[in-house]
A = this chain, B = another copy of it.
């Protein structure tokens, strides 16, 4: 590989992440509905750090220690915890400066799965412009990790990967797009005219409509409500701004 010769690939599900090449790579974890959208919202609202944990057991441990904890399974908040994973729960000025622990069905597991990569960031339609611009400024390969739904492919996460790839892949430095990256881009082109219509039949959107979460779906599919890029620092998602401050101070 020469400088300026990078590749882009997409893991359509955590089960495909093992086959990805993490050498000199930024991993973009995607769980549009709703974990990565919620994390963007939380940091945008002034939450200092979100600690993503994979299991309810870990979440309970943090709760016992006095942490605020969000816990969701199958689209619903687990009783006894402070929040689910609705972004609206995190739009709260009282959370400014706080730490929030979060466990969700798919997204937080995906973040933890990626933690050995050079850099792990969270992507969502809500931060798509700032994220795409930043990615293009880095000299790294990019692996998009779609959280999917319990091991399955889902439309909204791959559509988001395609939307970012569409924005950045014109840059000559991305010389190699994997088949999954190409397919994501083509999917985005199909959907571009009307992403809502495109996602109308998606399984997770149907699941969320059943749970009366239409407002959340709309929020999560609205572009650029956040200028925050959440990035993993140790076991915490923090804003890229505070990450840079911490490594330069």
CB nearest to A10 among chain B residues? B153
Specify which chain B residues have a CB less than 8 angstroms from the CB of A180 in the assembled complex. Answer: 152-153
- Of the candidates B13, B178, B179, B187, the one whose C-beta lies within 8 Å of that of A183 is B187
CB nearest to A156 among chain B residues? B179
A158 to B180, CA, bound (A): 10
Give this chain's copy count: 2
> Is residue A81 contacting chain B, with contact meaning CB distance below 8 A?
no
Within 8 A of B (CB), among A149-184: 149-155, 158, 177-180, 182-183
A196 to B153, CA, bound (A): 25
Which of A177, A179, A180, A202: most chain B CB closer than 10 A? A179
Contact in complex: B177, A155 (CB < 8 Å): no
Specify which chain B residues have a CB less than 8 angstroms from the CB of A153 in the assembled complex. Answer: 10, 12, 16, 178-180, 183
- Of the candidates B16, B154, B155, B198, the one whose C-beta lies within 8 Å of that of A152 is B16
Query: 1/0 per residue A169-212: CB within 8 Å of B?
Result: 00000000111101100110111000000100111100000000
Contact in complex: B15, A12 (CB < 8 Å): no
Total interface residues on A, using CB and 8 Å?
A: 31
Specify which chain B residues have a CB less than 8 angstroms from the CB of A204 in the assembled complex. Answer: 179
A144 to B19, CA, bound (A): 21
A207 to B160, CA, bound (A): 28
A residues contacting B by CB (< 8 A) are 10, 12-13, 15-16, 18-19, 149-155, 158, 177-180, 182-183, 186-187, 189-191, 198, 201-204
22 of the cross-chain contacts (CB-CB < 8 Å) are A10-B153, A12-B16, A12-B153, A13-B16, A15-B16, A15-B18, A15-B19, A16-B16, A16-B152, A19-B150, A19-B152, A149-B179, A152-B180, A153-B178, A153-B180, A155-B179, A155-B182, A178-B203, A179-B204, A182-B202, A186-B198, A187-B187
Given contacts A15-B16, A155-B183, 7 further A-B contacts (CB under 8 A): A15-B19, A18-B151, A153-B180, A177-B201, A178-B203, A183-B187, A186-B190
